[in-house]
Amino acid sequence: MGLSERERAKLASELVASLDGPAEDDVSEAWDIEICRRLNEIESGKAELLDVDEVLALARERLRS
């Protein structure tokens, strides 16, 4: 409790992150590649972006059927 609020928050964040174990470099690299791919699709117009209300309506409709 001798730490400032900011220091305690940082410590808590690091402690929670440590529960997941060490990060795998291959996984991080794969996500970086996937993020770039998705951004490229959005920027080129290949990806169809949907409004959140539309997505939720579609999800609800699928759950009903």
Percentage of the chain lying above the pLDDT 90 cut: 65
Confidence of residue 33 (pLDDT cuts 50, 70, 90): very high
**Hey, what are 34's tokens?**
């996937």
Summarised one tens digit per residue, pLDDT across range 35-45 is 999 999 999 99
Summarised one tens digit per residue, pLDDT across range 12-31 is 988 988 887 777 778 888 99
Per the rule left: phi > 0, alpha: psi between -120 and 50, beta: everything else, 49 is beta
Question: In whole angstroms, what is the distance from residue 50 CA to residue 52 CA?
Answer: 6
Confidence of residue 62 (pLDDT cuts 50, 70, 90): very high
**Hey, what are 24's tokens?**
């795998």
Look at the pTM and tell me if it is higher than 0.75: no
CA separation, residue 7 to residues 10, 11, 18, 23, 55 (Å) = 5, 6, 16, 23, 39
